[in-house]
Structure 1
Amino acid sequence: MQDPQNSSHNNEWLDHLASVDGKEENKTHFWGKEPSCLISNSSISSRRFTVGNGTNIYNSTIIPALESAQCEIIFVTCFWARSSALDQLSATLVKLSTKANSRPNGIPKLRVRLCFSSCSLIQKLSHTSSPAGHIYPPSKWQSLGLPPPSDLSGLDLQVKSLFFLPFSVMHPKFVIIDRQRALFPSCNLSYESWLECCLPVTGPVVTTLVDFWHNVWARNDFPPLPVTASEEVSSTPPPSEASPSCTTILLPSPHHRSPHFRPFSTAASPPLTPLNTYLLHLFATASKSIKLITPNLTSQPVIDALVTALERGVDVEVITNRRMMILEQLLTSGTITEYCVWKFRRRYRKFTQLRSRRDSAASHMEEGQARQIGKLSVGYFIPGIVYKRSHIKCTVVDEEVIVLGSGNMDRASWYTSQELGIALEGRQVVGDLWRVINGDESPYREVEWLDTVK
């Protein structure tokens, strides 16, 4: 297998992180000295990749993973709310505690770390600005909808929140089981009936994910796994679900408390985080197609990069939402998705018309010499009874790279929120996952496509 860290494709975007600005941006993070540590391998099975609403994903994927834990659960979400998902989590914690209490003497308690960023407006406004966050004492667990401490005696449980005013929410969602397996759901621990997905992974990328969690959440709370318990854990999925390894890149995007908020002026350049840098590199080097599924589209650097790709002949397809979290968009971006889409399509129309006039004037050019403009397709997700909004974040470039995770193509994700993406490289894995998201039975088959710009 080719060493993923030595590919010319990855060397190009890593060079940006090694630049003067890139080093300054990333110097306090574990990847700062050697960004290539973010590149590894993982095993992915498209049969275990889930699409549905949050309740479906908890039922089918997250809860069974939690129940399989032998020694440690790391659970990270952004928004924590009373919901059926929280009820499922609480019942599972009680079940795990009972199971742990029945272990022979000498076996340590099951270690559980529950991490979240937001549960209410009051919680965010009153939250500590310390990077150590706020640890909830057991007496406050029930106020979060968790069982009483007496029902969780078999667990070494800690509940922590992190949030930094004004807009720096910790937006990633992931679960790590025994530091061997990981899940990347797009859904929060919440009640919304949105279209979501969940990617399970095994392999070396999980170790990098543990490093990320440690860097953000654990600090002085990171003991090694008990040897007696870790010996019971297998990192290998069942043979029927095993799949070849593919190049996998963990793409953190740390939060920024200074948002450079200028809604009515030219946008400042986005921070050179791994996620931002990798996505901009993908957009700049795409040769055939870019497909985006994003809840919102308010990031000006993204729109600029897509316009540039269209000008050089790359087809661009965007699926987003109407009227999703309007107040939040206005507070963090000073605009909304619908207005940005309108401006995006107007820019495309203008340079398409300009190119057409230039080509007509250059009648002496040989046929085929003029460069073709890419096709722009923009569609809005159609709300239904099962799915009220689309909440999947997915980028596919040239059918060779797919990026999933927490990052939206909006200003908050690109400038202020902490985000986490995972990129998978390889035509087979990209095709398999895209067919699950956009297959024959997918809700994305009923998108409200806007008229083609003429």
Structure 2
Amino acid sequence: MVTDHLIKLTNVPETVSSVTAESPSESPGEIFHRLYGDDHHSASQSQYSHERVLECGKWGDTKPSPLFLRAFADAASCLDRDPLCGIVSPPLMGSHGTVPLTVIGPLIDVIRHVTNAIVRAKREVLLITSVWQPSCAQILIRDALVELSRRSQSNRVVVRIMFDKASFSNVWDPHRPVSEAEWTSKAIDLPSLEEIPNVDLDVASYHCVPLGTQHAKFCVVDGTSAMVMSCNMEDNDNMEMMTRLEGNVVQGLRDTALLCWGKSLGRDAQGLERKNSGVEVGEGELRHVRSNDLKPEIKNECLVPLMPDQPHYDVDIASEIRRVQANHEPGRGETPLQATNRVLNMMARKQVPPSGPEIAPDEVFTPYITTLTPQDVPIAMVSRSAYGPVDKSNVHVPQNEAWLSLIRNAERSVFIQTPDLNTMPVTEAIVDALTRGVEVTVYLCFGYNDAGEMIPGQGGTNEQATQRLLAMLPADGPAREKLHAHDYVGKDQNYPIHASFKARSCHVKILIVDDCVGVQGSGNQDTQTWYHSQEVNVMVDSPLICRAWREGLERNQNTHQFGAVAEDGIWRDADGNPGEGYRGNPGVLEGILWGAGGMFKKLKDSHG
């Protein structure tokens, strides 16, 4: 499992990000292959060794748990076959750091933190996302770049932005530079270089044809902090999730960003790369904030939320927390339920009235949650590179192996929240866990699947996948009692709303096992993510953080109370009727026709 070759790979003294400091004219990909080679080694069948796995990571003073370490070993073993499959320099895959802030809420609350981080940048911003559309989120990023330039009059800041807008040129090269004329067009609407004289902006697109979508979503600022998120730059009705990371793990995320970028950074970046490669990481903003300052209570404060026409940036994260929470608190004449309904309706295409029970004052929607730990915790990069061909051979990647290992070695509980779940490997792993007596809770989004997933071999809808899962369990056996399958229900509702209505959807992607190890990032549990998309995820080893994540998720939705599906895998109302929008289980021909149309629309919209 842990070969001599793997130990050698993970202990090379140089990394892509460190070498770019000396050779910025060389592309990150060229540097990677020079450092680690591209020879594929056969995976070893050697016995698992705790000590040998520890040699493969830079854990600092932390002590990885057996569950985490086993998952890391399974994920890292993929590097024997392909050192680049995890899109990070192998020495940076296993690391440590803190997760001082978690955001669980509407997309705009995630972007508010990202924009605050951008305007406080001193040297560099690397923003990688999938979908980029004209939207409130996009305008907030645009405005942040203008504000960053205004603040940076004494020094220039390098900003690199990458998204996925597929074009014919991707047939020859997945990486496509985006010209200033294109990025200032209405379709992208970023500021011209003239508007941001103190910012060196560079924009690119990535797509590995035909199916290798750039689906990762993260931002690295100054090489000292990173935001790993579930959301794109668009307006929608989604509940999203983001974690802010600080410490040595940020070096790995910056390394990944450079590998995603792919192209050489140019001679002008040489000084910047040297500064970032030598930065001391670990003393983040929240380390200097007292815990009492992070409580969400609002005491008669009138704090206007950050919006495109209201650029209210904050001086630190504690101030951000207070401002965002003020927007979720009841205004004059509002109940907590009405306040939550107001906020969740703001970006939804369809405005819906509240249907859920009144919210207790101490249970109000709380999007910004402090997850700061007293010391660093073990953190690993468990990502996957893009794979374009139309087959399912590219499955042995760190992301997939980490997920499977955690479920396979779970002893008490598995919690999964994802927009969609329809791949057989994870379904079979869940069945095995249930058979062992493990409690498995799965929160999906009703109707969220792309129509293309109806094509045979693409996994089907969430409802079909849930029915398939139930069919693999004995009807009256104890395993069924251990499975808790739910459809997402918004905090202000008492029933799931089909995603086609664009009113209440959930885009969170998280796996928590035994309440102590969690994986969060961009990866779904669908065919596209498992076999094709470029994804970035982090695996965190901390009961404290995992507990805060689970509590925050449960607090900000009503899924547990009202989302349980019936015995046939379909959510039904009190009269036994499926939720509005449910299309049933189409046959093969209908699935092909509907799915083909969905795939065409997906490619047309470049949806991520």
Deviation at 1:189? 0.4
Check conservation: 2:223, 2:279, Cα contact below 8 A. no
- SS class of match (1:243): coil
* CA offsets 1:284-312 (integer angstroms, 9 cap, x no match): 10011111001011111010100011111
Aligned to 2:99: 44
More strand by share: 1
Work out the CA distance in 1 between the residues paired with 2:86 and 2:245: 23
What TM-score do you get using the length of structure 1 for normalisation?
0.82
| TM-score, scaled to structure 2 | 0.62
Tell me which residue corresponds to 2:482: 375
Distance 2:174 2:211 in 1: 18
What is the correspondence of 1:32-431 to structure 2 with a 5 Å cutoff? 34=90, 37-45=92-100, 48-59=101-112, 61-100=113-152, 102-103=153-154, 107=155, 109-118=156-165, 124-131=166-173, 133-143=175-185, 144-221=188-265, 223-225=270-272, 235-238=283-286, 239-240=288-289, 243-244=373-374, 245-260=376-391, 271-330=395-454, 333=458, 335-348=460-473, 351-353=474-476, 375-381=482-488, 382-383=496-497, 388-431=504-547
Shift of 1:71: 1.0
Pick from 551, 555, 565 the counterpart of residue 450 of structure 1: 565
> Distance in 2 between the 1:232 and 1:203 partners?
9
CA, structure 1 residues 192+253, in 2 after alignment: closer, same or farther (shift >3 Å)? same
Deviation at 1:157, TM superposition (A): 0.5
- 1:12 to 2:70 alignment: yes
Which protein, 1 or 2, shows the higher relative CO under an 8 Å CA cutoff with sep ≥ 6? 1
Count of matched residue pairs: 412
Residue identity (%):
21
CA separation of 1:446 and 1:328: change in aligned 2, threshold 3 A: farther
- Determine helix, strand or coil for the equivalent of 2:545: helix
Shift of 1:12: 3.4
TM-superposed CA distance for 1:383, in Å, is: 3.2
Counterpart contact for 2:88–2:259, Cα < 8 Å: no
**Inter-partner Cα distance in structure 1 for 2:171 and 2:270:** 25
Whole-Å separation in 2 of the counterparts to 1:39 and 1:232:
18
Aligned to 1:150, what secondary structure does the other structure show? coil
Deviates more, 1:430-439 or 1:281-290: 430-439
| 1:10/1:182 CA distance change after superposition, 3 Å | same
Distance in structure 2 (CA, Å) of the matches to 1:86 and 1:253: 26
Distance 1:434 1:11 in 2: 22
Q: 1: CA distance between counterparts of 2:92 and 2:273?
A: 26
Letter in 1 for 2:458: S
Preserved contact between residue 118 and residue 125 of structure 2 (Cα < 8 Å):
yes
3-state SS in 1 of match to 2:184? helix
Give 1:436's aligned residue. 552
1:147-184 deviation line (CA, Å, top 9, x unaligned): 23321222111000000121110111111110100111
Render the CA deviation track for 1:63-115: whole Å, top value 9, x for unaligned.
11111101111111111011001111111111222232x32xxx3x2100011
Return the alpha-carbon distance in structure 1 between the equivalents of residues 163 and 524 of structure 2: 18
The runs of 5 or more residues in structure 2 that have no matched partner are: 1-58, 292-371, 489-495, 570-608
Structure-2 separation of matches of 1:228 and 1:7: 34
CA contact 1:295–1:321 (8 Å) conserved in 2: yes
| Partner Cα separation in structure 2 for residue 175 and residue 342 of structure 1 | 37
Report the alpha carbon displacement of residue 37 of structure 1 after superposing the two structures with TM: 3.5
Offset from partner CA, 1:31-83 (integer Å, 9 cap, x none):
57x4x6411111122xx311111112222x11111111011111111110110
Give the whole-Å Cα distance in 2 for the aligned partners of 1:91 and 1:285.
Answer: 46
